[in-house]
Structure 1
Amino acid sequence: MRFCQGLVFMFLRGIIYLMGYCLCITFLFSCTQYQKLPPGDIENAGLFLPDGFEALVVVDSIGRARHLAVSEAGDIYVKLRVPDNEGRGLVVLRDTSKDGKADIIEYFGGYPDTGNYGTAMRIYNGYLYFSTAGEVYRYKMDPNSLLPIGDPELIVVDDYKNATYGYEHIAKPIAFDGKGNMYVSFGSPGDICQEFNRRPGSPGMDPCPQLEWHAGIWKFDANKLNQTQEMGQRYATGIRSVVAMDWNFEEDELYVVQHGRDDLNKSWPQFFSPWQSAVLPSEEFFRVKEGTDGGWPYYYYDHIEGKKKLNPEYGGDGKILGDAHLVEQPLIAFPGHFAPNDLHFYRGDQFPERYKNGAFVAFHGSTIRGPYPQGGYFVAFVPFEKGKPSGSWEVFADGFAGLDTIVNTGDALARPMGIAMGPDGSLYISESVKGKIWRIMYKGKKSKFGDDALAKLEERKRTRTNIKDPDEKLDNVEIGMVEAGEKIYNLYCSTCHQKDGKGDGNRFPPITESKMVNGRSKTLIELILKGMEGPVTIQGLAYNSVMPAHDFLNNAEISSLLTYIRKNFGNDSPSISALEVGKVREELRNKL
């Protein structure tokens, strides 16, 4: 009897084992992915993510990282904005211990670099493609080696330094369609194709001659060497500046997110308030087909009203639409100056089904939103279905900047830049301040992932000053600073520089329309902290007096004082934050 029971038990255990084995074969990825994924860092290394996601820092401070790519072996290749002291502008990272941390870091890349906007990094057909400001190169990859082999091959060159109209937007993002074609963005040489670039009130040139070789996407043979722009095909036009670009293989089409124009209020204060200039024009997400015309420089998009409008350089006033309906409309639009710097369509299986074939956008963050908090500095997600957004954009990852309100761009601890997917479906994000790379993984149950998991991110979208549209009065960060700065100025500075900032005409110089006041913020902060003694020439007149150090003022007081000075007396420059003052103060201490 016991012998029979033993046989039955062994038989049942065998069935259970086989059932488990079959289940793991059927759901192989689900059975193994969590065993392979390393643990996330404490508090997700500072990131706020949907429930079920974890993040870890792969590497920190490798240099100002731009775009990145991950090989099938899981090695991470990164393009630096500028080469290091030995001329190496590429970095490769490998994790041999499988703990998620890079333990091998190699710098490489011997190639001419004509500028400091190195951007692209993509792997295509066994080659590592990357770009500088003026060139697209590639290295042959070796599956048995961490480093590529041979010398870099020049694929496309842009003679931008001899451009007729300048060369402002010279980043060279690239994308591949899988058919041997490479797409390269050639950005606009100025802001809005004016007769005098960035001069307030200057009219736009009509027709815009810059469109012949700029503000568009060109298509090239990905395997042909030493191509010039003339050898490519202009694929799309009227797209001002693109850094975020990706080929959507599900739809077999190109998609981009455009940087919108600048300074609506500074150039046209009669039509646009500072608040409107902070949130407009929108960053436009385009589906780009051959022949697409995005409308630059004639039109801009207003996401608040959901309309494309005529730019004031061409007769607009913030209301006139003109013939905007004749150019491409965005699939979706984001608030102004978020600075979209990479786009990635997710094709992996690690994340919940919600993210499959959807678009991640890295927002590098604004520089010109004052007097309101700077916006962007996060990674968004746009759900997609049949080639179009199936819902509004969501916040996917936030917390990169490391502070609540970003007064000035330099305050941000990190600025998300590049996005790439690893072979297991993990998402990698680079940042450009010091060169940190995060790995984001999903550890929850995919079948239970829903809107509840997004709740805290949806709350951040409504409330965080770097994401929400600012309140016109409550979020003006300069109002309190200017008021406090005026009191400090009257107490400590007006005796010498006078109430009107014109000085006494004898011993103490004026600060009206001052090059120093409107110049580098670091120089001005040092002047307040260190003081100045000796002869100096201001506006053609010589002065020789003593300005005592005001290092007894705290960082917030100096911030308010300098912001007040830079916003009055005929001066018009961005505010200076307490964080900026603190950094300069610390640098001076370290020099002692």
Structure 2
Amino acid sequence: MKNIYSFEGLNLQLTYLLIFLSFAAIGCNSKETALPPGDKDNGGLILPGGFEALVVVDSIGGGSIIAQKVSQLSKSAIYTPPPPEIKGAPKSTQLSRPNNQPAGNYVGARHLAVNDNGDIYVKLRTPTTDGFGNAALRDVNGDGKADTVKIWGKYENRNRGTAMKIHNGYLYYSSELAVYRSKLKPGQLVPDGEMETVVIDEPPYHEHQAKALSFDGKGHMFVSWGIGTNSCQTENRRPGSPGLDPCPDMVDHGGIWMFDENKLNQKQSDGIRYATGMRSIVGMAWDDDTESLYAVHHGRDDFRLLWPEFYSPWKSTMLPADELFKVDKGFDGGFPYYYYDQMLEKKILSPEYGGDGIKEGDGAKLPKPLVGFPGHFAPNDILFYKGDQFPARYKEGAFIAMHGSTNRIPYPQVGYVVLFVPMKKGVVTGPWEVFADGFAGVDTIAIANDAKYRPMGLAEGPDGSLYVGDTQLGKIWRVMYKGDKSAFGATQLAAMEKRKNTISYLKTPDEMEDNLDRKGKPVHAALTYNIYCRACHQTDGSGDGNRYPPLAGSEWVNSDKTVLINIVLNGMTGPIQVKGQPYNDTMPAHASFLTDKEISGILTYVRSNFGNKAGPVTEAEVAAARKSLSKK
């Protein structure tokens, strides 16, 4: 036996030790980098060459997964106001979900986060019937599929709760009116400690109230504050109504606030206004490489409806751009006074403030976006990839989930994909690319509900996989790269580039050939409905399952016609329920621009179509309601 304390013995022992450590390192590394096989059809996704995808969970609360509720963690500190009292409002008893999902399902994934051990956390789009707003998923056997799904987290919440982030050992998530956090414990799927309130907003609820989150790693948390208006008109969404100047809602909305991430129960006044001039921000991300905040912005709606003298249906379809901003402190995106025209590559004066679709005003003084996407693509999340699994070209650039449009009628709806914006040191280096397609499941999306899935949330896993969540049913995909990273390039991207220029929900529509109304002229009532109603409620009256309620089978449509008439005349603001689903967007008053005959025609059309079988609404009934309105 050799003396291990001798030089020769020590050298031999060190050699054995190095060999052992080398094999151990190879084994550990193999375990870390071993990827599960993708689904044969990539879960329905279309990806660049070398990429594969698998479905982690088919639908949260549906399919073969049994969702398990866990006990309430703590009560929210937020006051939840009761819904407004509406005289004659129908009683809602039936729970309705998108795509005819059974009552009680927990439908839709907003933003996602993936922990270091691969556990996935999901902000649910629609809270459960008893108020739970989050889901936690775990793959137990390593096949990439979720074996356990737990529904948890009971707090003040509606269908615009958005964020889900892991930061410094905490899980952060947001409702419409608050940002919460829960402490994560190693190995434990669902947090069981106290649910802490980090930021508190004030009621009332309103449209665009999603609270996206981001952290700079220096102790600061950024929170978006959407503005509850389309364009800050004197009368919201009324044709020809001028804009308020200055816009009073911009004092405490329409921007991004910065907070101390370690303080609890902060109000907006405890934060610092970091940026302004942005209507609706659903996705934000801090990029460590450039030490900058980036945000994706939803442009305003309804150019054609509100200003038909300046905007054709085609221009209203294409404009305004949805934007990608690099957001420095003090940034001003221009809303509501200006919008970005990606075709002219200029900031244009909004018509509410004297614009005509051409005038720039002082728009040249405002910063241009990094990218102006075609109108209504609806960017809902942004992610800067930091992993090593994907080819190097994805290391400097942003993935963006395009939720898809609802109001491009009479042209096909667009979006419904995950895009990639190539960048270098914060500068865009080329046109945006289609990275993941196939979510919609159809070639032409006439209305939003034609799309089977709508990508919403993005997250990077510990091994560099990209996770994508769907807002319709809560389906989640895991995208992996299995090809030769050194050989990845134009050849692997060619098919995706072709799709960008040919698929109806991606390409620029031809003004004549792609107009879906060209094949038939609707009757007068249907035509009026199409002009004033279908952008929100859709051609088939189904709504969009999120912002705009359905008319098909609605208790509001099929009950007291006087209530329905008054809603059209007066408009409606505030939370309501339709078929058991909560909604909280603004319904504009139509009394000033629709005649009694037009309203009676629209309501008769609605009450006798979309599966509704209620009686007609006469011109005299509308006139009587209008007369009663004028006396108030």
- Structural mapping, 1:33-44, within 5 Å: 36-44=34-42
Judge conservation of contact 1:364–1:416 (CA < 8 Å) in 2. Answer: yes
The 2-side partners of 1:185 and 1:526 are apart by 35
- Greater C-alpha radius of gyration: 1
The 2-side partners of 1:101 and 1:332 are apart by 35
Change (3 A) 1:153 1:524: closer
| One-letter amino acid of the structure 2 residue matched with residue 61 of structure 1 | S
Q: Secondary structure at the match of 1:55?
A: strand
| One-letter amino acid of the structure 2 residue matched with residue 521 of structure 1 | G
State the partner residue of 1:104: 148
Q: Secondary structure at the match of 2:193?
A: strand
State the partner residue of 2:365: 326
| More displaced 10-residue stretch of structure 1: 325-334 or 217-226 | 325-334
| One-letter amino acid of the structure 1 residue matched with residue 174 of structure 2 | S
State the partner residue of 1:549: none
Task: From 192, 214, 239, give the equivalent of 1:200.
Answer: 239
The 2-side partners of 1:86 and 1:174 are apart by 26
Q: Secondary structure at the match of 2:194?
A: strand
Confirm whether residue 78 of structure 1 aligns to residue 76 of structure 2: no
State the partner residue of 1:339: 378
The 1-side partners of 2:302 and 2:295 are apart by 22
Q: Deviations over 1:513-562 (max 9, x none)?
A: 9999x9782587679xxxx9xx999999xxxxxxxxxxxxxxxxxxxxxx
State the partner residue of 1:130: 173
- Structural mapping, 1:422-437, within 5 Å: 422-437=461-476
Q: Deviations over 1:393-442 (max 9, x none)?
A: 00000110111110111111100000000000000000111100000000
Task: From 226, 247, 250, give the equivalent of 2:286.
Answer: 247
Judge conservation of contact 1:49–1:397 (CA < 8 Å) in 2. Answer: yes
Judge conservation of contact 1:283–1:340 (CA < 8 Å) in 2. Answer: yes
Confirm whether residue 119 of structure 1 aligns to residue 167 of structure 2: no
Judge conservation of contact 2:305–2:531 (CA < 8 Å) in 1. Answer: no
Q: Deviations over 1:207-262 (max 9, x none)?
A: 22222101000001111100111111000011111001100111111000100010
State the partner residue of 1:150: 193
The 1-side partners of 2:317 and 2:478 are apart by 32
Misfit runs of 4+, over 4 Å: 21-29, 31-34, 510-516, 522-527, 535-540, 569-573
State the partner residue of 1:184: 223
Unaligned runs of 5+ in 2: 1-17, 61-106, 543-549, 566-596, 613-632
Task: From 501, 513, 519, give the equivalent of 1:474.
Answer: 513
| One-letter amino acid of the structure 2 residue matched with residue 433 of structure 1 | Q
Change (3 A) 1:199 1:27: farther
**Matched length:** 500
Q: Secondary structure at the match of 2:132?
A: coil
Q: Deviations over 1:270-302 (max 9, x none)?
A: 111000000110011110011001111111111
Judge conservation of contact 1:344–1:419 (CA < 8 Å) in 2. Answer: yes
Q: Secondary structure at the match of 2:195?
A: strand
The 2-side partners of 1:537 and 1:280 are apart by 36
Change (3 A) 1:279 1:262: same
Judge conservation of contact 1:512–1:570 (CA < 8 Å) in 2. Answer: no
C-alpha displacement of 1:83? 1.7
Confirm whether residue 140 of structure 1 aligns to residue 183 of structure 2: yes
Confirm whether residue 290 of structure 1 aligns to residue 325 of structure 2: no
Report % sequence identity.
53
Q: Secondary structure at the match of 2:372?
A: strand
The 1-side partners of 2:39 and 2:167 are apart by 31
C-alpha displacement of 1:147? 1.2
Task: From 435, 438, 443, give the equivalent of 2:482.
Answer: 443
Unaligned runs of 5+ in 1: 1-17, 487-499, 503-509, 541-568, 586-592
- Structural mapping, 1:268-417, within 5 Å: 268-417=307-456
Q: Given the two structures, how large is their TM-score scaled by the length of structure 2?
A: 0.74
| One-letter amino acid of the structure 2 residue matched with residue 375 of structure 1 | V
- Structural mapping, 1:445-464, within 5 Å: 445-464=484-503
Q: Deviations over 1:453-493 (max 9, x none)?
A: 0111100100111111111111111221x34x66xxxxxxx
State the partner residue of 1:210: 249
The 2-side partners of 1:367 and 1:24 are apart by 54
Judge conservation of contact 1:111–1:152 (CA < 8 Å) in 2. Answer: no
Judge conservation of contact 1:120–1:131 (CA < 8 Å) in 2. Answer: yes
Change (3 A) 1:55 1:341: same
State the partner residue of 1:521: 541
The 1-side partners of 2:475 and 2:235 are apart by 39
Change (3 A) 1:97 1:308: same
C-alpha displacement of 1:70? 0.2
The 2-side partners of 1:122 and 1:342 are apart by 12
Query: What's the Cα RMSD here?
Result: 3.4
| One-letter amino acid of the structure 1 residue matched with residue 316 of structure 2 | S
Judge conservation of contact 1:513–1:570 (CA < 8 Å) in 2. Answer: no
State the partner residue of 1:93: 137
State the partner residue of 2:65: none
The 2-side partners of 1:512 and 1:261 are apart by 19
The 1-side partners of 2:409 and 2:491 are apart by 34
| More displaced 10-residue stretch of structure 1: 466-475 or 202-211 | 202-211
Q: Secondary structure at the match of 1:479?
A: coil
Task: From 200, 212, 225, give the equivalent of 1:173.
Answer: 212
Q: Secondary structure at the match of 2:449?
A: helix
Q: Secondary structure at the match of 2:479?
A: strand
Change (3 A) 1:146 1:189: same
The 2-side partners of 1:256 and 1:470 are apart by 27
C-alpha displacement of 1:50? 0.3
State the partner residue of 1:550: none
State the partner residue of 1:61: 59
The 1-side partners of 2:203 and 2:471 are apart by 24
Q: Secondary structure at the match of 1:89?
A: strand
C-alpha displacement of 1:85? 2.4
Q: Secondary structure at the match of 2:41?
A: helix
Which of the pair has the greater relative contact order for Cα pairs under 8 Å at 6+ separation?
2
C-alpha displacement of 1:173? 0.5
Judge conservation of contact 1:110–1:152 (CA < 8 Å) in 2. Answer: no
Q: Secondary structure at the match of 2:189?
A: coil
The 1-side partners of 2:433 and 2:530 are apart by 45
The 2-side partners of 1:352 and 1:149 are apart by 39
The 1-side partners of 2:344 and 2:530 are apart by 40
The 2-side partners of 1:177 and 1:39 are apart by 35
